[in-house]
Amino acid sequence: MGRVAIIGVGQSAFVRAYPGSLRELAFEAFKEAVEDAKVKPGEIEASLICSAPEYDRQRSPAGVIAEYLGLIPQPTCYVETVCSSSTTGVIMAYSMIKAGLYRIVAVIGVQKMSELSSMEVQERMGRGADIQWESPFGTMMPAYYALYARAYMAKHGLTLEDLARVRIKSSLYGQINEKAVYRKPVSMEDFLNPESRFAQLVASPLRVGDCCANADGSSCIILASEDVAKSVCEKPVWILGVGSAAEAVTMTGRPDLSEGLRVAKVAAEKAYRMAGLGPKDIDVAEVHDCFTIAEIMAYENLGFAKPGEGKELIRAKETYKEGSIPVNVDGGLLSKGHPIGATGGSQVRTIVLQLRGEAGPMQVKDPEIGLVHNIGGVGLYGNVIIMGR
């Protein structure tokens, strides 16, 4: 089949506590996406509902959400790869269209985390690890990424100030993103002042300011075949390359932790090869900055910097909007928030808006190629998607 394009994108505001139901939350992004794509629900031939289970009481939410959105009797299914669920959905939808099965597919990512307490959320996140050999011993998400941070700092000389610089950049752009959950400035003083909330230790060396926030939110990406895209869309964004990978669940099965996430490297290599492009061709990127160390590792795993040199990019502000490789200029997970199932779709939406020149105050100057890097769990799953205008 021909090329596959993204013709519509939508996202709810990411908030601490959404007052409605899961299906109503999904509608927020879906409504925006169908209006953007200029299609009707009845024209969508299949849907993929993406989230992480156990945050909502509804079992098998795909059918319930598809019904509410007016997408039945067209087929639907539930997609889950933890935090990378909605980019897995985008890759699946891309494959379904390339195979000629459908012409228009909607990918809806949604998560309502506020129905659980913070303790309950952490416990469920911990169950994303091996429930026999690791999570019963208290290894929560901050502790896992702290292992990577410690290993990286020991080998490459990364400092606490370097980690803080990632969050400071994130907060700069979170302030201008009307959909972000955290829209306040953060300074180096917030990290250096021992009385500051941002400086409070979570899992050494990671502090409160190094960690992203849970949120409620939804995203929607509508993909279409080339003939449909050209007929309904003035600015289709083409999917040029995709890559996915998986990793050993337990830390003992991982390679050198100081080198970052192997899934990101492998997925990026596949996506670059498929697109016929390399790291230097990327004009703007969205990376999975669930923790500040994750963004530094992503710089290197994606080839934007050599191993150990990712810190130089943030020190020189090369990943700011005006830099050589703008990264997370929508605030990233650190400021935008992290509603697990909706996160990847939100990243894709940001890149689509950038490539269309419709990102408003977050707009990078004249980008042609954009990249999304979305990680599930502690590097358990990895997806990379490259798009072009």
Q: What is the pLDDT of residue 124?
A: 79
Q: What is the sign of the dihedral through the CA atoms of 153, 159, 164 and 165?
A: negative
Q: Average the pLDDT over 144-160 and give the result.
A: 96
Please state the rounded mean pLDDT for residues 87-99. Answer: 98
The dotted CATH code for 4-116+214-232 is 3.40.47.10
| pLDDT tens for each residue of 213-271 | 889 999 999 999 999 999 999 999 999 999 999 999 998 889 899 999 999 999 999 99
> Is the confidence at residue 350, as pLDDT, over 80?
yes
User: Considering the chain, what is the average pLDDT of its residues?
Assistant: 96
pLDDT over 90 at 136, yes or no = no
pLDDT at 125 over 90: no
Residue with tokens 């990793």: 247
pLDDT at 237: 98
Q: Read off φ and ψ for residue 106, nearest 5 degrees.
A: -105, 135
CA distances from 142 to 150, 247, 259, 307, 320 (A): 12, 18, 18, 23, 25
State the SS3 of 199-224.
HCEEECCEEHHHECCECEEEEEEEEE
pLDDT exceeds 80 at position 179: yes
**What integer pLDDT is reported at residue 234 of this predicted model?**
93
- Per-residue pLDDT band for 178 (boundaries 50, 70, 90) equals very high
- What pLDDT shows up at residue 54? 82
Per-residue model confidence (pLDDT) at position 233: 94
- Active site amino acids: 83, 338
- Cα dihedral across residues 290, 168, 194, 312: positive or negative: positive
Residue 83 backbone phi and psi in degrees, to 5: -70, -15
Dump pLDDT digits (tens) for 303-329.
999 999 999 999 999 999 999 999 999
- pLDDT confidence of 291, banded at 50, 70, 90? very high
Task: Give one word for 203, left, alpha or beta, with left for phi > 0 and alpha for psi -120 to 50.
Answer: beta
Q: What is the pTM of this model?
A: 0.97
- Percentage of the residues of the chain whose pLDDT score is greater than 70: 100
Q: What is the pLDDT of residue 130?
A: 83
Q: What is the pLDDT of residues 25-76, one digit of tens each?
A: 999 999 999 999 999 999 999 999 999 988 887 889 999 999 999 999 999 9
| Kind of pairing between the strands at 369-376 and 284-286 | parallel
Q: Report angle CA 362, 365, 366 to the nearest 5 degrees.
A: 120
Helices H / strands E in the chain, number of each: 13, 11
pLDDT of residue 119: 80
Name the residue with higher pLDDT: 173 or 120.
173
Q: Which residues partner with 27 through β-bridges? A: none
pLDDT value at residue 148: 97
- Residue of 131, 193, 205 lying closest to 163 (CA atoms): 205
Give kind and range of the element (H or E) at residue 10: strand 4-11
**Where are the domains positioned within the chain?**
4-116+214-232
